[in-house]
Amino acid sequence: MTTFAELGLAPDILRALDDLGYATPTPIQEQVIPLALQGGDILGAAQTGTGKTAAFALPLIQRLLPFANTGTSPAKHPIRALILTPTRELAIQVEESIKTYCKHVPLRSLVVYGGVNINTQIPILKTGIEILVATPGRLLDHVQNKTLMLNQVNTLVLDEADRMLDMGFMPDLKRIVALLPAQRVNMMFSATFPEEIRKLADSILNAPTFIEVARNETAVTVKQVVHPVHHERKRQLLTHLIKSRDLSQVLVFTGTKLGCNRLANELNKLGLHADAIHGDKTQQERIKALDAFKAGTLRVLVATDVAARGIDIEALPFVVNYDLPHNAEDYVHRIGRTGRAGASGEAISLVSESETRYLKDIEKLIGSPIEATIVPGFEPGAADVPAYQSRPPRSHEGSTDRSIERTVERGERAGSERSERAADRRPPRSSKPAVTRDALFDAPYVPSDTPRSSAALAPTRPTSKKPVAALFRSPVKSEPAGQ
């Protein structure tokens, strides 16, 4: 079995790994680290929970060791490595990992992201940092404010590149890459590889080595189960599972922000301490909810897919798919939050009838069916279907004509009975006197041969009949000349 020491890592980095209890590298680390230490471009296909962060962070730190110093001058600490992530949560998680790996190395790191005051980040940037973790939008804010320089970057890492494209960061990525030196090492990691990702890789990477490890595979330590249920009873079933099994630290994924907020509020009303996290929440609100969830004071955290790849909680026991994702690969990322680093976990999916097609896509992607268990009392039967959705059963072919005849007869009888009852209730009509008509108005219109004068058409102003007083000035008499 390969060890980190056999991969050629420096002693100071190995000490930090020993402090963390890391003994053997994961498959993605075992393949990426040696190639990255040699300075080649890498295109990696790996899902969350595979140790991808250490795979690019450890060789990145080792390649910066010659520049490590304890000097106080900012000029001695220019930005030499840039790591871009799609979400704030993932950026924070990556920078926290880098700090732990640099425990015995004098390298500085910083994370910058939107949603917080930019002025709080500027003083740290001015002191100088070697490793910068950033979201694309906030990085460009700093570039525009001229609070950082990227002209000495020698390593670029794009983490979760497919998610960055999904969130519309392609124009920002192009602007950022144009600001970097041409001579650099590039590493790109993505869970999926659509055509847009391949085009982006071709434009950024230089003859990269493609590495694929455990993509679209679920961890064997994660127990997966499906609970069929009518969509209107999902909340009741979720509440029943949490209370009856006394579940804690439950991460629940919904499909929309509105549904995320609504579910969290309803769970709180039912006595389950819950909070919501999604893109419309402020950064302070998201950090507060995550910290409470990690500490165990928050029982249920309801999230959207924006947090599916950014939440890293040690030994998270339960993940619930309240709404199945429309993209099957998002299912793998969601349940990848549990069962990490060999720990056990459970992924529960509440599936309504309209979501069975998404379930089939998921089972096709992971290559195995998921066990379906009906919870007693929550059977998705006809009793759960609202009345407006129910339909009468179809008649057999032989009895169709007779059914129609009986229906028509019943309709005719009912119609006649209603007519008779209405006639009984209708008051008698009162007789009205005949209306005499004037023959002049009944005659057809005959146009006149005499043209109307324009004077008749012109509107006339009414004249006032009251006398109006007027003040006239008398003329001034001229005096005779010579007087």
Q: Which two tokens stand for residue 452?
A: 């109307």
Place of tokens 């320089």: 149
Whether 74 and 127 have beta carbons less than 8 Å apart is answered as yes
Kindly report the length of the chain: 483
Residues facing 212 on adjacent strands: 45
Note whether 113 and 88 are within 8 A (CB).
Answer: yes
**Per-residue confidence in pLDDT tens, the chain, 483 aa:** 588 989 999 999 999 999 998 888 988 999 999 999 999 999 998 776 678 899 999 999 999 999 999 999 999 999 999 999 998 888 998 999 999 999 999 999 999 999 889 999 999 999 999 999 999 999 999 999 999 999 999 999 999 898 888 788 989 999 999 999 999 999 999 877 778 888 889 999 999 999 987 666 677 788 999 999 999 999 999 999 999 999 999 999 999 999 999 999 999 999 999 999 887 888 788 888 888 998 889 999 999 886 555 666 777 899 999 999 998 888 888 888 887 766 789 999 999 999 999 999 999 988 899 999 999 999 886 444 443 333 444 443 344 344 434 443 444 444 444 444 444 444 444 445 555 555 555 556 555 554 554 444 445 555 555 665 555 555 555 555 444
Please say whether the beta carbons of 108 and 128 come within 8 A.
yes
* 323, two tokens: 């709404």
Residue 415 and residue 5: Cα distance in Å, rounded? 91
Q: Which residues contact 68 (CB under 8 A, 6 or more apart)?
A: 105, 106, 107, 130
- Can you give the pLDDT at residue 416? 43
- Please name which of 112, 126, 120, 10 lies closest in space to residue 68, comparing C-alpha atoms: 10
Distance from chain centroid for Cα 237: 24
Task: Please give the pLDDT value at position 26.
Answer: 87
pLDDT of residue 162: 85
User: Taking the mean position of all CA atoms in its chain, how far away is CA 299?
Assistant: 22
Which amino acid does the sequence have at 5? Answer: A
Concatenating the DSSP letter of every residue in 295-340 gives: HTS-SEEEE-GGGTTT---TT--EEEESS--SSHHHHHHHHTTSSG
What pLDDT was estimated at residue 402?
42
Q: 250 and 299 in contact (C-beta within 8 Å)?
A: yes
Domain 5-213 annotated CATH 3.40.50.300: yes
Pairing of strands 209-213, 185-190: unpaired
CATH fold for the domain made of 222-382: Rossmann fold (3.40.50)
Kindly write down the DSSP assignment for every residue of 228-240, as one continuous string.
Answer: E--GGGHHHHHHH
Q: In angstroms, rounded to a whole number, what is the distance separating the alpha carbons of residues 101 and 95? A: 10
Residues 201, 443: Cα–Cα separation, whole Å: 88
Instruction: Report the pLDDT value the prediction gives residue 482, as an integer from 0 to 100.
Output: 46
Nearest CA to 53 among 3, 12, 89? 89
> Quick one: pLDDT at residue 165?
85
- Please spell the DSSP secondary structure of 29-56, one letter per residue: HHHHHHHHHTT--EEEEE-TTSSHHHHH
| Domains 5-213 and 222-382 equal at CATH topology level | yes
In the chain, what are the domain boundaries? Answer: 5-213, 222-382
Q: Torsions phi, psi of 470, nearest 5?
A: -135, 145
Pairing of the two strands 155-158 and 274-277: unpaired
| H or E element at residue 274 | strand 274-277
